[in-house]
Structure 1
Amino acid sequence: MTTIKRTGGIVAIAAATALILTSCSGTTAASPTDVDPDGEVVPREISWLLSRPADGGVITAMEQIADEYAEDHPGFALNLITTPDRPSYIQKYETLAAANKLPELFDTDATPFAQKLADQGRMVDVDALLDDLGLADDYREAALNYQRFDDGSLYMVPFEFQLEYFWYNSALLEQAGVAVPATLDDFPAMCKALRANGITPIALDGQDQWPLERYMAYYPFRLAGPEYVQKLKNGDASFGDPAGRAAAEWLSSLGQAGCFQEGFSSTGYADAQALFTSGKAAVYNIGTWELSNLATEALDAGVRDSVDFFTLPTIDGAVTDDHEYVTPSGIGMAVNAKTYDPLVRDFLAFALERYPDVYAATGALSPTTTAATTIPDTATPLYSQAIEPADGVGPRIAMPWDTQLDPATNTRLQQELTLLVQGDTTPDEFIDTMDAALAENGK
């Protein structure tokens, strides 16, 4: 049977963490590329430190798979150590890494912290693992690319694949006499027209801050490609560079045009979604993980038939293609090189082969191309339309900046973005503040 433990946060001491992590270099017992170790498969409990909803599709699928594996391997159990709250999870993860006590499997984004672990040989090379298991060609290129470090190396396995869209209410746009924006620069005019007709232009979850940070990523991605944020986090670019300045000025223009609902900074996830699904807001930027709420017969008929979507608009002089936008594969799973042995390899071989079919049966997009998504009985035609582009997305991804920047700079960015959109600071002031934060924290 699969065992689940939900543990509380571990109190971290930030300064000590950095020092201990540095001292742990070279402590792994196995090579990260030794993906097929010799020895017998001896069943035992293995653990997965993860940051996912306990009742979500990934955990549900892996519980089922672990139970199936245990039937043929008595004594095996998968202990899921769950901490859905992301800040608490990061604290726990970094503390265990500092103490060299990470379990066999653990969740991580492709952050600078994770890059350090990989550089120290503490994570199994996933490119080598998938190739050895004969699964490398099964995965969507974009799903793997989302997990890669800046140098192209891969140390995390994706378990999801999402497409992020701008969902819109066609009836409200028609009422305001506006079309779907062809470019990012069309947003302010769209917002003003909607406002003039008494319609909230864009529903935004400002409370959680990351949705607004998505908007910060859009203009630079179109203007300079994914390389801009990579250079930014490494101190090789500035918020005052053309891409960063264009983003700041665009965000400021969205605020001046009243694009987001009044009090957006205190609006939570559920309330932002309700603004759109109740027909009070015209646009809502969110991923296909919300398909069950956006493309369902349960929606009020007055809204249901008017819901549609468009992908990230381009700009004049864009360096990325229209079919390249935010296509995340979620937080990845890393494999601890120190505890990697024949059992871990054997379980992963079984689980990764079985997972796509089990996960796709829940109505979700698989990170592989080998499993067709099961469309729920209660879905509207929009459900199929929304997942259809998955096979045609480009290899370059508009990376969420909260997975790229160091935590201190990211926190400051989220705070300053709210002030910028509210008109409490100017683009120049925003740029100066963020460049100072980057200089202090980035290295």
Structure 2
Amino acid sequence: MKRFHRVAAVFAAAALLTGCAGGTGGGTDPGDVNPEGEIEPREISWLLSRPAEGATITIMQQLADEYAADHPGFKLNLITTPDRPSYIQKYETLAAANKLPELFDTDATPYAQQLAEKGQMVDAEALLKDLGYYDDYRENALNYQRFDDGSLYMIPFEFQLEFFWYNKELFEEAGVSVPESLDDFPALCTDLRAAGVTPIALDGQDQWPLERYMAYQPFRLAGPDYVQGVKTGETQLSDEVGTKSVEWLSDLAEAGCFDEGFSSTGYADAQALFTSGKAALYNIGTWELGNLATEALDEGVRDDVDFFTLPTVADAATEPNEYVVSSGIGMAVNAKTYDPLVRDFLGYALERYPELYAETGALSPTTNVQTAVPENATPLYEKALMAADDLGSSLAMPWDTQLDPASNTRLQQELVLLLQGNASVDEFISTVDTTIAENAPKYFG
């Protein structure tokens, strides 16, 4: 019954959007980024998967209101679904019905690439170049949004670096130091456990944080392209790189690296474990600078917190300054409803957005603005910002944005079993390889 109501609601949303996504005879060629015609103000919609009170939505609404003041009749309708699984269901249902609104959020997933190949998305690289903004963007911010073939169909609104935050005092009490290699993690966890400390706080409920750990060893051992072979079934986890990666995860479990009951620990609870001094490590991105690098952090641990970047391994294929760097979920532009109005509004908004976003204390996806450091920031805040200026070009892509949906869901389930000790290394590899072999051909054609 619940499933029926959820699906019904999605189709209701599709019907609602039919009226606001019609356009005025917009272009259908994804490369026609500067269509001819008059700017005729109307309501356009943006299907979002972002926090309703977050900086991106707040700023874009402000810019839309300013634009509307000069273009009577214009309105930006924000359709927000912060819960990612629910959003993906809505997004894919609307896409299948060919009823996506003018703007919509999407990661650079295989599904999104299929939409682009069908001509349903405007060429974002061509659009940014035509508007004169392309060269302002950080290379890594754009590259995170690219498909496997290098094409760019999403516009970034964020720029995030992911670090391992750690408690220096807990490290000192346990007699451990910052790991130089990923292979040092099991011993590190063992020593922290012996000192009575939870080694790593993990949001297992949302699954993506655990999947990050799946990506680390392959990225260091074989580079960013490894996942491309795995997701299509051309490469199996049973090979040397995959086996070592799964064995490493199993070693983390055996060493008790994660908090007990991690699979039911939510985002806020995982963060609280670290910020209360009960966990020694927390792997999270710069979107949490306000909580981890300002006086908002409990003064009992404030002076003990520091961070390090993803450790390397022997004979690594990637450099120490290459790790998980993302530009968040991107915004795609519907080619079907694209017209002079949509182009003009985006031109207006993208010109001013970076400065307003940087004023919030966040890293802009562009390099032409300077991030404002809050008055209550600790020295870690600027240290984190400076890391953005020393990055390599390889990105550790989150596997949840790469695998086909069915295989990704099964991988997440099996990761929990592996790290709970309920699946062996061989069982995990066999199950995941078999699942991908069954699903990838159907998905990737």
Match of 2:144 in 1: 146
Which of 201, 226, 234 aligns to 2:232? It is 234
* Runs (5+) with no aligned partner, structure 1: 1-6, 14-27
What corresponds to 2:434 in structure 1? Answer: 436
Tell me by how many angstroms 1:233 deviates.
1.3
Q: Deviation per CA, 1:202-246, whole angstroms, max 9, x where unpaired?
A: 111111111111000000001111111111112211111222111
8 Å CA contact 2:106–2:329 kept in 1: the answer is yes
1:32-431 pair list within 5 angstroms: 32-431=30-429
Q: Is the 8 A contact 2:166 2:280 kept in 1?
A: yes
**Partner residue of 2:22?**
none
Deviation at residue 300 of structure 1 after TM alignment: 2.4
Cα deviation for residue 301 of structure 1 reads 2.2
C-alpha distance in 1 between matches for 2:27 and 2:56? 30
For residues 109-162 of structure 1, give each alpha carbon's deviation from its aligned partner in whole angstroms, at most 9, with x where no partner exists: 111111111111111111111111111110000000000000000000000000
1:40, 1:52 → 2: CA distance? 32
* 1:29, distance to aligned residue in structure 2 (A): 5.0
Mapped contact 2:27–2:35 kept (Cα < 8 A): no
SS at match of 1:137: helix
Q: Is the 8 A contact 2:323 2:395 kept in 1?
A: yes
Deviation at 1:10, TM superposition (A): 5.1
Q: What amino acid sits opposite 1:391 in the alignment? A: D
CA contact (8 A) 1:275 1:281 kept: yes
Question: What is the DSSP-based 3-state SS (H/G/I as helix, E as strand, rest coil) of the residue aligned with 1:283?
Answer: strand
Answer whether contact 1:233 1:438 (CA < 8 A) is retained.
Answer: yes
Could you tell me how far apart the structure 2 residues matched to 1:42 and 1:230 are?
43
Counterpart in 1 of 2:20? none
CA distance in 2, matches of 1:291, 1:368: 19
Cα deviation, residue 382, structure 1: 0.9
**Paired amino acid for 1:83:** T
> How far did residue 298 of structure 1 move?
2.6
**Would you say how many aligned residue pairs link Structure 1 and Structure 2?**
423
- Secondary structure of 1:115's match? helix
Cα distance in 1 between the residues matched to 2:6 and 2:165 = 36
1:43-67 CA deviation, whole Å, 9 max, x = no partner?
Answer: 1111101111100111011011111
Q: Residue 407 and residue 369 in structure 1: after superposition, are their counterparts in 2 closer, same or farther (change >3 A)?
A: same
1:377 is matched by which residue type in structure 2? E
Change (3 A) 1:10 1:29: farther
Instruction: Say if 1:300 and 1:29 are closer, same or farther in 2 by CA, change over 3 A.
Output: closer
Unaligned runs of 5+ in 2: 12-25
Moved over 6 A (4+): none
**8 A contact 1:9–1:89 mirrored in 2:** no
Alignment deviations for residues 3-49 of structure 1 (CA, whole Å, 9 cap, x no partner):
xxxx9765679xxxxxxxxxxxxxx9521111111111111111101
Q: Per-residue displacement from partner, 1:54-104 (whole Å, max 9, x unpaired)?
A: 001110110111111111111110001111111111111111111111111
3-state DSSP of counterpart to 2:281: strand
1:263 to partner: Cα distance: 1.2
